[in-house]
Amino acid sequence: MPRISESQIQAQYDFMSRVREINSHRGRLAAYIKTFGCQQNEADSEELAGMLTLMGYDIENDAENADIILINTCAVREHAESKAMSIAGRFKLLKAKKPDMIIGVCGCMVTQEGVSANLKEKYPYVDILFGTSELWRMPEILYTRLSTGKRVFEPGKGRYSDIAEGLPSVRSDRYRAYISVMYGCDNFCTYCVVPHVRGRERSREREAVLADVRKAVSEGAREITLLGQNVNSYGHGLYEDYDFADLLRDVCAADGDFTVRFMTSHPKDMTDRLISVMAAEPKVSKALHLPLQSGSDRVLRAMNRVYKRDDYLALVSRIRAAMPDIALTTDIIVGFPGETEEDFLDTVDIVKRVKYDNIYSFIYSPRRGTPAADMEQLPYEIKVDRYQRLIAVQSEMELAFNRGLEGSTIEVLVEGRSKTDTDKLTGRTERGKLVHFSGPDCLIGQRIGVRITHAETFALYGELLDTSLNGSAL
Ligand code: SAH
Ligand code: SF4
C-alpha cells in the first residue's frame, strides 16, 4: 500500500516551522475547528489540531476570537452540507470584524464535483480549501496563503491510495482515543457518497496502528476506538493472512488498563473468527455497531448491501450466542427509493426482533453521483412519517429496557461535568448509555459503580456507590 514518503511528510513539518516563523510576531494566536459528520472526521480534526498547534495556534472552542477557522465538512446527507454552508455564512460576519482571520473549508463535501469551484466563486471570504486526500498538506496550503496572500483551493484528486503516517495529533478527549485502521470504502452501497469522497479502501500497517494504541494508552486513554468505514475488512490488499480479528487481538495485547471498541462493521465481513476474538478478549467492549440499513430483501438488494434479512438475523444470533449480553446498535435508512409500506414494516420487524440498544435512523437523502439519486424518489411526507414511526417503536423499547435497569448498579466511565447540569457528572456505561449523577471532579476518567435511581429514554440517572468515592471501582 503506497505511503506518502517520509521526505514529503518532513516537508510539511518544515512548512509548519515556516508558518510558526511568520506568526511569531503576531502574539498569541487561536484556532477553532468545527467538525461535522463521523468519527473519521473527528480523528482528521485531531490531526488538523496537531498541525495547528505546532504552527503556534492554541486550539479553542470559541470561533469569535479565532485567527484561523477550519470547517471540516460531511457529505453523507444533505442536511450536514447545508449546516456547514450556513455556519460558513456566520463566520463571514466574524471575518468582517477581523480581516486577518483565515477561513478554511475541508472534508468530504469539498471533494465532490463542482463544490470547490462553487465555493471559490460564491464564498470569497473562504481563504483555503482542501479535500480529504490533501489534509496532510494543510501546513503547505496555509503557508502559501500566508506568504502570498492568495486563496489556495486544493480539492484533491487521484491521490486516494496513499496513506500519510507521522502527522502530529492533539486528542480532543483525554480518555477516549479514536485510531484509524483503514480509510476509504469499496462497497459502493447505492445511496452512499463515501466511496466517492474518501476513495478506495486501504489499510494502515499494523505496526503503525499498534504504535498509536500504545501511545494513546500511555497518555491516559481508557477507551480505544478503532476506526474505519468498514473496519472488519481491515488488511485486504495489504496482508494475506492477517485480518481485523488478528489486529483486534494484538491491540488487546498492549499493556494497560483500557477497553477497545471498533466501528463501523459491515455485516458481510463479520467473521466467526472476529466474533470469537471479541468474546474471548476481556478488553473488548461487549458492544457492536452493526448497520442494518433496511429489513427488506428487496431494498437491501437495491442498496447493494449484499446480505439478506435472514443472513443478518442469523449473524445476530451467532453474535448473541457467543456474547449473550452484547449491546447492539445499528444504522437504518428510511424512505430509500421504491421502499413500500411492506418493506418498511420488514425493517420495523427486525428492529423489534433484535431489540437494539440504540438505532441511528436517517431519512434517505439523494446524493449526486450515486445510483440511488437517479431512481424514482418517494414523497418527503412518506419518508418523514416512516422515520417518526420507526423512532417511536425504538423509543418505547429503549425506555422499557432502561426502566429495567432501575435499582441496579452499573459500571460507568466518567467523562466530565454534564453539559446541561454542571452540578452533575456524566459518564457512559459499557453499553454506551449516558448516566448522570452527583460526584466530585476527581472521578473524571475513572470507572466507577453507579446505582441507577431513575431511567428515561435517552439517559439514566443515579447515585454513587460509597465504595466509588474510596477509589475502588466495581
Ligand atoms: N461505513 C459506515 C458508515 C457510513 S455513513 C457503514 O457502512 O455503516 C453512516 C450512515 O449514514 C450509514 O450507515 C447510513 O445509514 C447513513 N447514510 C449514508 N448515506 C446516506 C444517504 N444518502 N441518506 C441517508 N442516510 C445515509
Ligand atoms: Fe457507504 Fe456502504 Fe461504504 Fe458504508 S459500506 S461507507 S454505507 S458505501
Closest by alpha carbon to 135, among 166, 172, 164? Answer: 164
* Environment class of 416 (CB within 10 Å of its CB; exposed 0-12, middle 13-18, buried 19+): middle
Cα separation of 460 and 458, whole Å? Answer: 7
Ligand 1 contact via 344 beta carbon (within 6 Å): no
**What cell numbers appear for 28 in the block?**
498569541
CATH architecture of the domain covering 287-403? 2-Layer Sandwich (3.30)
Ligand 2 contact via 259 beta carbon (within 6 Å): no
Residue 158 is predicted with a pLDDT of 60
**What cell numbers appear for 151 in the block?**
486563496
- In the chain, domain spans: 6-154, 173-285, 287-403, 409-464
Edge-to-edge strands, sheet with 223-227: 176-180, 223-227, 259-263
**362 Cα: distance to centroid of ligand 1 (angstroms):** 8
**76 Cα: distance to centroid of ligand 1 (angstroms):** 7
pTM score over 0.85: yes
CATH architecture of the domain covering 409-464? Beta Barrel (2.40)
Cα separation of 409 and 451, whole Å? Answer: 4
For the 6-154 domain, the top CATH level (class) is alpha beta
Ligand 2 contact via 190 beta carbon (within 6 Å): no
Which residue's alpha carbon is nearest to atom 13 within ligand 1? Answer: 331
CB 285 within 8 Å of CB 258: no
For the 173-285 domain, the top CATH level (class) is alpha beta
Answer yes or no: same fold for 173-285 and 287-403.
yes
Report how far apart, in Å, the C-alpha atoms of 334 and of each of 76, 201, 264, 419, 471 are.
15, 26, 19, 31, 46
Ligand 2 contact via 194 beta carbon (within 6 Å): yes
Residue 306 is predicted with a pLDDT of 96
Residue 160 is predicted with a pLDDT of 66
Ligand 1 contact via 333 beta carbon (within 6 Å): yes
Strand-pair partners of 247: none
Cα separation of 438 and 421, whole Å? Answer: 10
Ligand 1 contact via 186 beta carbon (within 6 Å): no
Residue 474 is predicted with a pLDDT of 42
Please name the amino acid found at residue 368. Answer: R
Interacting residues of 236 by C-beta distance below 8 A, sequence separation 6+? 201, 203
Closest by alpha carbon to 195, among 364, 27, 367, 448? Answer: 367
Ligand 1 contact via 293 beta carbon (within 6 Å): yes
CB 110 within 8 Å of CB 131: yes
Report how far apart, in Å, the C-alpha atoms of 392 and of each of 388, 396, 433 are.
6, 6, 18
Residue 230 is predicted with a pLDDT of 94
**What cell numbers appear for 462 in the block?**
443515579
| Sole residue written with cell 465538512 | 73
Which residue's alpha carbon is nearest to atom 5 within ligand 1? Answer: 76
Ligand 2 contact via 235 beta carbon (within 6 Å): no
pLDDT along the chain (474 residues), means of 10: 87 97 92 95 96 96 94 93 87 91 95 89 94 95 97 82 89 90 95 93 96 95 95 94 97 96 96 98 96 98 98 98 96 98 98 95 95 97 98 95 94 90 90 92 92 94 75 42
Cα separation of 410 and 435, whole Å? Answer: 9
Sign of CA dihedral 372, 87, 31, 143: positive
Nearest atom (ligand 2) to Cα of 266: 5
